[in-house]
Amino acid sequence: MPLLRFFVFLALVVRLPAATSDESARFLAGLPMHGTSLEALAGQAQWVQHAMEFDDAWKRLEERSLGKIRNWAPTYLAPQFEEQGNVFYFFSGPDLLYAQALWPNAKNYVLVAREPVGTMPDIAQIPPAQLHAALANLHKTLNASLSWSFFITQDMKTDLTQTQLSGTLPVVLLFASRAGCKIESIESITLDASGAPIAGGEPKKAANHGVKVSVFGPHGRPQTIYYFEADLGDDVLRKNDAVLKFCDGLGHGSTLLKAASYLMHEGGFERVRTWLMTHTDLHVQDDSGIPLHYFDRAKWQLRFCGRYPGPINIFKQHTQADLLTAYSAATPLPMGFSFGYRWQPNESGLMLARPK
């Protein structure tokens, strides 16, 4: 075989070494790739541009909200801030960032939403043209979250199915890497009817489908990130509440609701509302979460933060008169960062609720 044809043959049959989960996450996040199996791929002009754009976007996000949240949380979320327990973030989409910024020391983060889990392909084996398109789509998917602090659900339904980097998993890994986590392993999860994980096999029902990501957190502690694809409406949970039973097995923890589309203002979500209110040691939400009138002042200690100017126009029908009254009667705690649909820092508000 002529020498030239021999090297062409080698190029066709020899696969590049598969990247580790951590390397793949760092590559998607636009972080330095020196000394990794993806270093050569990261030398391409398209990836360099991708990394530069992400660096700029993260700098703005840190200055506007995440850095301020990390400074704010130790004072106002204590003692739960220091506890290495659970964080339950329902209606989350892939938004690990805000849960991790509020509770950086959590042992488990459980995110539940309707967006598909997706898969993590071998980045080194994606054809260059497809990879560049996938990275561009990632920017499109994350534009709202990085600019305004929330995902647009309808856009995600389209964006998260467009390329080989499909579903929420690539976004969750990207966020974890940018938050300072080192990815150790990724495991697909299927739950049985009791909420117990089933080893191996493909999920038969989306409501029982999830992923488990094991990481070392920004402070070097082992942490686990769970994401479950599930509809949390009452009609679905009456038939299949495996996700809630799985969370039952973890015990109590802190709960978070942010940019939750005011779903629990319209009925049909009584089961998940009850679960959240009976499993929390500290509940943190913006006004799109559980309506104020469900919190009995005899049973809950409530603190209000920032401002409540009412919902944005698209959700104006969910204005809470009692919440307006509560803010006017209280001395709200300072915030100074953007959160939820009211993405301007001077318009955002939070409610902190602790069971008495």
Q: Where are the beta strands (DSSP E) in 91-198?
A: 108-113, 182-191, 197-198
Q: Cβ-count burial of 188 within 10 angstroms (0-12 exposed, 13-18 middle, 19+ buried)? A: middle
What confidence tens digit (pLDDT) does each residue in 288-330 have?
A: 999 999 999 999 999 999 999 999 999 999 999 999 999 999 9
Question: Does residue 250 belong to any structural domain of this protein?
Answer: yes
Two structure tokens written together for 292: 């104020």
Q: What is the token pair recorded at 300?
A: 């809950």
| Residue 211 · residue 113 · CB < 8 Å | no
Has residue 313 been placed in a domain? Answer: no
Place of tokens 């929420």: 168
Q: How far is CA 175 from the centre of its chain?
A: 8
Return d(Cα 102, Cα 317) in angstroms, integer: 29
The secondary structure of residue 333, as a DSSP letter, is B
**Residues 272 and 244 sit within 8 Å (Cβ to Cβ):** yes
Q: Is 304 in a helix, a strand, or coil?
A: strand
Round the average pLDDT of the chain to a whole number and report it: 86
- pLDDT score at 132: 83
The verdict on residue 166 lying in a domain is yes
Based on the structure, what is the number of domains in the chain? 1
In-domain check, residue 340: no
In terms of Cα–Cα distance, which of 21, 17, 14 is closest to 37?
17
Query: DSSP E strands: which ranges in the chain?
Result: 86-90, 108-113, 182-191, 197-198, 209-216, 222-229, 253-257, 280-285, 300-306, 349-355
Question: Would residue 257 count as lying in a domain?
Answer: yes
pLDDT value of position 98:
93
Furthest-apart CA atoms within the chain: distance in Å: 86
Report pLDDT for 17. Answer: 60
Question: Residue 162 domain-assigned?
Answer: yes
Is 323 domain-assigned?
A: no
pLDDT digits (tens, 9 = 90+) for 136-169: 878 777 776 565 554 444 444 444 455 567 788 9
CA atoms within 13 A on the CB side of 306: 27
- Write out pLDDT tens, residues 220-238: 999 999 999 999 999 999 9
pLDDT of residue 162: 54
Considering the domain boundaries, does residue 345 fall inside one? no
Query: Can you tell me which residue has the tokens 């996040």?
Result: 29
Cα–Cα distances in angstroms (integers) from residue 104 to residues 80, 215, 331, 344, in the given order: 11, 12, 27, 24
Domain around 62: 16-289
If you count DSSP H runs as helices and E runs as strands, how many of each does the chain have, helices first? Answer: 12, 10
What pLDDT does 135 receive?
A: 85
- Reading the chain (356 residues) residue by residue, the pLDDT tens digits are 444 443 333 333 345 567 899 999 999 999 999 999 999 999 988 899 999 988 988 888 888 889 999 999 999 998 877 777 999 999 998 999 999 999 999 999 999 999 888 887 788 888 877 888 888 878 777 776 565 554 444 444 444 455 567 788 989 999 999 999 999 999 999 999 999 988 655 555 555 889 999 999 998 999 999 999 999 999 999 999 999 999 999 999 999 999 999 999 988 999 999 999 999 999 999 999 999 999 999 999 999 999 999 999 999 999 999 999 999 999 999 998 988 888 777 899 999 999 99
